[in-house]
Every structure is written in structure tokens, then in C-alpha cells.
Structure 1
Amino acid sequence: MNPARRHGFTLIELLVVIAIIAVLIALLLPAVQAAREAARRMQCTNNLKQLGLGLMNYETVNGAFPPKSIQTGIGTAVPTTAFDWGTSARLLPFMEQGPLFNSINFSFKYLDVAESTVGSMSLNVLLCPSEPRREPILFRGYYYGVNSYAWCVGDWYVYGGMSGPPPRCGFATNLSRRLADILDGASQTVFASEVRTYQPQLRHCFGDGSGGTFPTLNNPASTLDLAASIALITSSSTFGQCQMIAEGHTRWVKGDSYHGGFTTVLPPNTRALGPQNLDLDLTSIDEDDGGPTYAAITSRSYHPSGVNALFGDGRVQFIKNTIHFQSWRSLGTIGGGEIVSSDGY
């Protein structure tokens, strides 16, 4: 036998080795992906904590939390002036964004050409690492930065016009809540949560909720179950024809419900619209078109099984999609007098 002759791997041996490597990759890949998601979720938690810290510093300096937006007008008519700068914009100096805040003239609308530089900025503290769509949106010739976090602006009713009552949440138009106003307790009240950018929604829907069955959704003691609530929200008699858009939470500077806010009428990540089971939000009419306004703007994320939420005491907690819908609504109110057990979420 020739001693120089060398034996290589047979085809079967190579196939076995390849199969073993494939099995190992199949076993390791989910673990790697889970580790990456855990890291993204941790960064997301840190972003919300940063927002909470900025919020508390704002309250310490100003004696109250920032408003959702500022509008002027009479009654429920269309506001004569809508200064739509939102809560996040007002927190900038307390999140190490002093120069950006100083460049804002709050006497002008965020849509003014002079303010376009501020709106175009993308801020890491407002973007969850798990969010796949982080690119700015082109709107009326200018780009605007998107946001993965929003403020609780109501549990269904969000705005009653210039003369209407305020919503039952922490952030309202023309109103700055004090810490003493959180009668349910800061640890029992959700202030902010995750949302998805470019969220599809139906808005400018007919009907303002001034009568009929709309107000029942505001009552945490209501006997309606989740399915009945969804049926009321999506019924054709309630909303009629609506405008379909896919730009929810694409302008972080703006304070209206579908850009800077969310509501707790539906649990996190609820897919609501009829047999299609679509992932849509709903707004009766825009706040800067008058009032009253009702909205189902659901907290959503790309994390498995739930969302991160910032509470009034500064802590961030992961809220599962399976939370009871009445518990979630109760956590959105500041003075509803509800009792929510800690094991309920």
C-alpha cells in the first residue's frame, strides 16, 4: 500500500457533519435571538425610566406635570389656535436635550417652517430598540422624527373641547396635573407606555360620543366584557365612514392622541376590528378639530407577549397582553377610586 496515499472524508461523513452543524445552529439561534431581545427590552426599560426621571424633575421645577397640548377657542368649536407641542417636547431640558428645547418657540405651531429642525430630530430615548420602523416621515414637505413611547391621554374619552371636562388620565389638553392630583396613588397609575410607529388607524370618524353607548366605556365598573367593548367601538353605527391612514406616532413633537398618546380602553396589543382582526387604532375626531374626542389608541410593542409601562412612581413594569381589560383601564385613571391588585398585572 502506498504510504503517501491519504484518505479523505466520504460524502456520507460530510453530510453527517453538515447535519450536526445545522442542528446546533437550530438549537443555538433561538437562544441568541432571545438574548438579543432581552437586551433590547432592557434598553427599552431604561428609556422609559429616563422619561420618568425627566417627568419627575419637570414636576419638581414647575410644580406640575406638563400638559398634553395647548389650545385656545370657545366651547366645543374648532380651536382658534392649536399649539400642539406635546409632553415629550416639554421634557427635553430634563433629558439632556437643553439646546434642542431652547430652539423651540412655543408661541408657534410645530408645523411652522421655523420649527421644522426640531421636529425632524430622531431621539434615541424615544425609540425602542425593537422598533423596526425608525425612519422619519415626510409630511407637508418636511421630515418628522417618530416615537416608540406615548403618554396616557385617557381611557376612551380624551378631549371634550374648550369647555368640556378633562379626561381621567395624567395628561390632558390645557391642563397640568400635580402629583397631589394622582388620587389613586402614583404606583397604581400608568403614565406612559410603548406604541408602534407608523401605526394604521381610522380617524375623523363620524360621531363624537356625546350620546348613545360611548360613555359606558369610561366606567370601570361597567358590566361590558372586552368583546362587547370592541363591538361598540367598531360598530358602523358608532363610527360610520372613517379616514384610513398609517402614520400613528410618527411625529414625536406633537401632543395629540394618535401621535403623542395612547388610551387604556383596550389591553396591550389588542387586535380589534371585526372578523379581519386588524391591528388598527380609532379616533372619532382630531382634538384640534374641536370635540368631544374619543380614541382607542392601543399600547403596542414588538416584545413577545406584552409592553413596558411607566408608572407614576417612576418604576417600569412589563404588562402582559393577558391583563384583564378592566384592570388596564383602571391603571389609566388618576382618581377613579379603583382597587387593582398587584397580581392583576
Structure 2
Amino acid sequence: MSRSKTRGFTLIELLVVIAIIAVLIALLLPAVQAAREAARRIQCTNNLKQLGLGLHNYEGVAGALPPSMCMKGSGTTITWSNGWSVHGRLLPFLEQGSAFNSINFTLRYSVPENTTIGAMVIAAFLCPSEVNTQPRATTLARYGVNNYGWNMGDWYVWGGFAGAANGAPFQVNQSRTLAAFSDGLSNTVVAAEVKTYQPNLGNCGGLANVNNPNAQPSPAADPYTVAPEYNAGCTLATTGHTEWVDGAVHESGFTTAWTPNRRIVRTGGDQSQALDLIGSRESQGGPTFAAVTSRSYHPGGVNVLLADGSVRFIKDSINGDAWRALGSLRGGEVISSDSY
């Protein structure tokens, strides 16, 4: 009698097939991840474009851009502040009219009458690449986080009620017209990406070496020489950019003190924490000098919104002086388009 042979895979053949599949996965996975990141970056760009449209529509109605926040007082004494950010003032131009109409702008964002709005998660304020988008909970309220900061200065943010104006598009109690952008709308950054839950050093009581609006440290200088406060004398918090309602620079702004994604860590501290630095916060009456760096999860740089409404991708390798020049609205710098 003839025996029928059973056909099947040998162990070696099976291992070869598994190895081939593993190689294909290894080759395809980076491509898939790159495609997903490209899609996220496009959505992030669209968010900034929407903010740009909202900003121009606001200017068309009000005749000027919104202030970073509003305060009343004298010297460094604040007698009234509502703290509301540029984000909050743009709500009706971002299809959030109902939320805007629910805000009582005569009161601070943190009072019970306003905390419902402050807890809102607004998609236009979040980059799809952000890994930490959940609202921040405090003992009294919850706050929606934010991935887009408004340009509030280089190091100099605010000089108090009697201080000089900064050179950026946004400042406390200042509503600048587009005509004030003498450097050109296409040469001035109005907003850039930031990370949520950003570690920052605050309550420094001022900065020892950075205290003159007319004498700014070079962007190429050693950070620890410029600001020894990076290593001592300040309080560490991990809540930067976790309140889109707050007009303070560490919550809804950025500065051009350092180039995008610049990593500065505390010696002997957590080396994974790239730090921002706020010498004295606006809510303390100023003067405020700060290094709140633009950051993103996109490889190699950040998306920025220019004053003409266009969006550009700025590389981490941009020259520091060119970055400062893009942050100034009337500095008179000459910037070549190949500089960024």
C-alpha cells in the first residue's frame, strides 16, 4: 500500500518567514510613524492659521490687537486685574461665541463665576503631537491646557505700570495696531508652539544679571552665566502653559530669549526637565524678565504664526539673533528669508 505524504513547513522555513516579517515591520514602522507625524504637523499648522485668522478678525473689529492681559495700579502695586489672556479675547473669532459671552471680564478668570469657561478644552489651542493634554486640576478649579503662546518679548516682558514698552506684539495693557509692525508683518512672529505642563523656575525675586530692557544678553551667551537663577534662588513648578485663560507669559506666552527647543537644566536636578525662567511674574507688579522658550514635539523645530497670517516651520538651528529679530515688531533689523 502506498503512503500519502503530509506536506507542511519545516522549522527553518517558519523561522525564515518570521524573520522576513520582522524586517518588513522594522522597515515600515518608521515610515508609518513619519506619516502620522506629518499629519499631526499639518493639523498643528492649521490650528495656527485659525488663530491667525481670529487675530486679524479681532483687529478688524477692535482696530488693534488684544493686550496680553489688563491690570490697574501704580508702580508695582496692582489694584485690579482680570488676568484674561489673548486666547480668551479671541474666542468669538474661533467659533466659540457662546463661551466668550459667558465670561465676566470684570472679574478674574479664577473666580467661581468664570471657572466653567477656564476648564474648557479647546481643540484649536492643542497640537495633535502634544502628549499631555488633560486639564490641570487644582483644589478650586480645573484649567484647560495650551500649546500656542503669544510673543511677549525677548527677555523683557513688562516694566510695571511706569515701565517702557517691550518690542514684541503683545504686552500688559498694550493694544498694538498692525501699523506699528514697522519691521513688516511677514517678518514678525506673533505666536509659536509651546509645551503643556512645562517646568519653569519662578518666584525668583527678579534676576540679578537681566534687569535692563536696553541691555539684553546675547542669545549665544552661556545661560548659567547670564542667569545663575537657573541653579538657585527660584521655585520649580511643572505647570507652565496649563491655563489658556491666564495672560501671564508662562501660561499663554513665549519669549525669544533662547532659540526654539533650547534645553537648559538645573545642575544636579532632573536632567529631563528643560526649564523656563521667570524672574518676577506680571501678577507681582513687574518688572518682568523671562525666558519662556518655544518648544514642540515636532522633530527639528517649531511651527510659528507670522503677523501676516502665514505659518512657517522654524528650525532649532536658527541663529539666535535672527530669532530675536523675528520676535521684534519694530527693531529695524534686516532679515534674509534664508535665515529661517
Superposition TM-score tier, normalisation by shorter sequence: over 0.9
Are the equivalent residues in 2 in contact too, given 1:213–1:232 (CA < 8 A)? no
| Structure-2 residue corresponding to 1:112 | 111
Letter in 2 for 1:207: G
| Structure-2 residue corresponding to 1:317 | 312
C-alpha deviation, 1:3, in angstroms: 5.4
Q: CA RMSD in A?
A: 1.8
Q: Matched residue of 2:233: which SS?
A: coil
Are the equivalent residues in 1 in contact too, given 2:219–2:258 (CA < 8 A)? no
1:40-82 Cα offsets, whole Å, 9 max, x none, are 00000000000000000000011000110000100123x1111
Letter in 2 for 1:256: A
Q: TM-score, normalised by structure 1?
A: 0.94
Inter-CA distance 181–218: structure 2 relative to 1 (3 Å threshold): farther
Answering whether residue 280 of structure 2 is matched by residue 285 of structure 1, we say: yes
| Structure-1 residue corresponding to 2:239 | 247
2:212 is aligned, of 212, 215, 218, to 215
5+ residue gaps in structure 2? none
Question: 1:37-48 to 2 correspondence within 5 Å?
Answer: 37-48=37-48
Are the equivalent residues in 1 in contact too, given 2:58–2:65 (CA < 8 A)? yes
CA distance in 2, matches of 1:130, 1:216: 35
| Structure-2 residue corresponding to 1:83 | 82
Answering whether residue 255 of structure 2 is matched by residue 263 of structure 1, we say: yes
Letter in 2 for 1:316: V
Q: Matched residue of 1:16: which SS?
A: helix
CA distance in 1, matches of 2:188, 2:198: 25
Runs of 4+ aligned structure 1 residues displaced above 4 Å come to 216-219, 274-278
Are the equivalent residues in 2 in contact too, given 1:76–1:164 (CA < 8 A)? no
Letter in 2 for 1:215: N
| Structure-1 residue corresponding to 2:290 | 295
The percentage of aligned residue pairs carrying the same residue is 52
| Structure-2 residue corresponding to 1:52 | 52
Inter-CA distance 11–218: structure 2 relative to 1 (3 Å threshold): farther
Answering whether residue 134 of structure 2 is matched by residue 135 of structure 1, we say: yes
| Structure-1 residue corresponding to 2:227 | 234
| Structure-1 residue corresponding to 2:191 | 192
Structure richer in helix, relative to its length: 1
Answering whether residue 323 of structure 2 is matched by residue 331 of structure 1, we say: no
1:163-214 Cα offsets, whole Å, 9 max, x none, are 11121100110010000011111111000000000000100113356xx554
CA distance in 1, matches of 2:2, 2:258: 79
Inter-CA distance 156–239: structure 2 relative to 1 (3 Å threshold): farther
Are the equivalent residues in 2 in contact too, given 1:155–1:265 (CA < 8 A)? yes
| Structure-1 residue corresponding to 2:101 | 102
5+ residue gaps in structure 1? none
Letter in 2 for 1:269: N
CA distance in 1, matches of 2:159, 2:242: 24
Q: Matched residue of 2:98: which SS?
A: helix
CA distance in 2, matches of 1:156, 1:275: 22
| Structure-2 residue corresponding to 1:146 | 145
Answering whether residue 161 of structure 2 is matched by residue 162 of structure 1, we say: yes
Q: Matched residue of 1:150: which SS?
A: strand
Letter in 2 for 1:324: N
Q: TM-score, normalised by structure 2?
A: 0.95
CA distance in 2, matches of 1:28, 1:97: 41
Letter in 1 for 2:234: C
| Structure-2 residue corresponding to 1:31 | 31
